[in-house]
DNA sequence: CCGATGACCAAAC
DNA sequence: TGTTTGGCCATCG
């Protein structure tokens, strides 16, 4: 919570409904910084705020392997599946079905 | 206190 | 059309 940008990211991630996922680039774009996708992940890893569903934020391909440092392997997937998010056979989130649209809620 | 790195993405060559 | 480099903010060392 040291920066205002950080706050913006949290606000956007917080408005992602259960059963939907958002990409780092999407969140960054909504925050007004299209090239600040890295900061989003960094902020999530550094903050880990319980009010911010970091597990609903995935990379552009729907992969969550990069989160193994913060989330144990399979933990994030279990949370998303519990919320109704569908996964592909390759272990990535089905963005075609569960990608969150910023225009809805 | 300063330098380097990082849960990434998109534009440019 | 594919590959490479740049960039943004925060956190770690």
Residue A18 lies in a domain: yes
Q: Give pLDDT, residue A13.
A: 95
Q: How far apart (Å, rounded) are the C-alpha atoms in residues A103 and A71?
A: 29
Residue A14 lies in a domain: yes
The answer to whether the CB of A40 falls within 8 A of the CB of A3 is: no
Q: Give pLDDT, residue A25.
A: 95
Residue A102 lies in a domain: no
DSSP reduced 3-state for A99: strand
What's the CATH code of the domain at A13? 1.10.10.10
**CB within 8 Å of A36: residues ≥ 6 apart:** A5, A28
Residue A103 lies in a domain: no
Q: Give pLDDT, residue A1.
A: 60
Give the distance, in angstroms, between residue A18 CA and nucleotide B4 C1': 36
- pTM here? 0.94
The answer to whether the CB of A95 falls within 8 A of the CB of A62 is: yes
Q: Give pLDDT, residue A3.
A: 78
- Cα radius of gyration rounded to whole Å, chain A: 13
A6 touches strand C (CB under 7 A): yes
The answer to whether the CB of A31 falls within 8 A of the CB of A5 is: yes
Give the distance, in angstroms, between residue A23 CA and nucleotide B10 C1': 14
Q: How far apart (Å, rounded) are the C-alpha atoms in residues A13 and A41?
A: 11
Give every residue of chain A whose pLDDT is below 70, as ranges.
1-2
Q: How far apart (Å, rounded) are the C-alpha atoms in residues A99 and A38?
A: 19
A37 touches strand C (CB under 7 A): yes
What is the number of structural domains in chain A? 1
């Amino acid at each position: 919570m040291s920066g205002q940008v950080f706050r913006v990211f949290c606000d956007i991630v917080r408005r992602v409904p259960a059963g939907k996922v958002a990409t780092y680039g999407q969140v960054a774009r909504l925050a007004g910084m299209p090239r600040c996708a890295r900061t989003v992940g960094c902020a999530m890893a550094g903050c880990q705020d319980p009010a911010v569903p970091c597990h609903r934020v995935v990379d552009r391909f729907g992969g969550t392997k990069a989160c193994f440092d913060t989330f144990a392997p399979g933990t994030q997937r279990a949370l998303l599946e519990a919320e109704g998010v569908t996964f592909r056979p390759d272990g990535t989130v089905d963005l075609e079905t569960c990608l969150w649209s910023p225009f809805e809620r």
